[in-house]
């Protein structure tokens, strides 16, 4: 009988150990995504029927925290978390903001970003660009 108890304890310990090392979902560490193709909706669940939390313009960089089907679990620059459809995210595997030399204008408040003749507000404005401009 003691061997049976020992075996059960060993099996339970093995199950607990395996549960601790196998992730519950697919986690994507140190990855970012860039919104592409217009405004992308952040939803509370990975479904078109779930509540809308916010939306973000092309060029917005989000942190990827997981994957559920074709939906990415993300953290947006404003701190909101939720799900975005992967078809409209450019995913960067190394944690960098971009995979190439193409950049996009990003604005925390949604307003145009000014290009100045030098590094500071005291320099003259050359142009202003809308969020999402390549």
Query: How many domains does the chain divide into?
Result: 1
Q: What percent of the chain has pLDDT over 70?
A: 71
Residue 49 is assigned to a structural domain of this protein: yes
Residue 113 is assigned to a structural domain of this protein: no
Whether pLDDT at 53 is above 80: yes
Neighbours of 133 (CB within 10 A): 17
CATH code, 48: 2.30.30.40
Residue 83 is assigned to a structural domain of this protein: yes
**Dihedrals phi, psi of 39, to nearest 5 degrees:** -80, 135
Residue 134 is assigned to a structural domain of this protein: no
| pLDDT attached to residue 117 | 78
Residue 114 is assigned to a structural domain of this protein: no
pLDDT in tens, 76-104: 999 999 999 998 898 875 444 444 445 67
| Tokens found for residue 115 | 């290009």
Give this prediction's pTM: 0.53
Residue 89 is assigned to a structural domain of this protein: yes
> Range with the lowest mean pLDDT among 18-22, 50-54, 98-102?
98-102
**Does 19 or 110 have the greater pLDDT score?**
110
> In which domain, by residue range, is 86 found?
25-101
């Amino acid at each position: 009988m003691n061997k049976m108890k020992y075996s059960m304890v060993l099996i339970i310990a093995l199950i607990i150990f395996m549960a601790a090392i196998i992730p519950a979902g697919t986690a994507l560490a140190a990855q970012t995504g860039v919104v592409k193709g217009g405004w992308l909706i952040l939803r509370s669940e990975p479904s078109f029927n779930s509540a809308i939390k916010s939306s973000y313009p092309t060029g917005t960089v989000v942190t990827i925290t997981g994957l559920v089907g074709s939906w990415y679990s993300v953290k947006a620059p404003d701190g909101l978390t939720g799900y975005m459809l992967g078809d409209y995210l450019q995913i960067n595997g190394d944690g960098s903001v971009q995979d190439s030399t193409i950049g996009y204008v990003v604005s925390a408040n949604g307003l145009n970003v000014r290009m100045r003749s030098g590094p500071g507000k005291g320099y003259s404005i050359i142009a202003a660009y809308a969020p999402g401009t390549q």
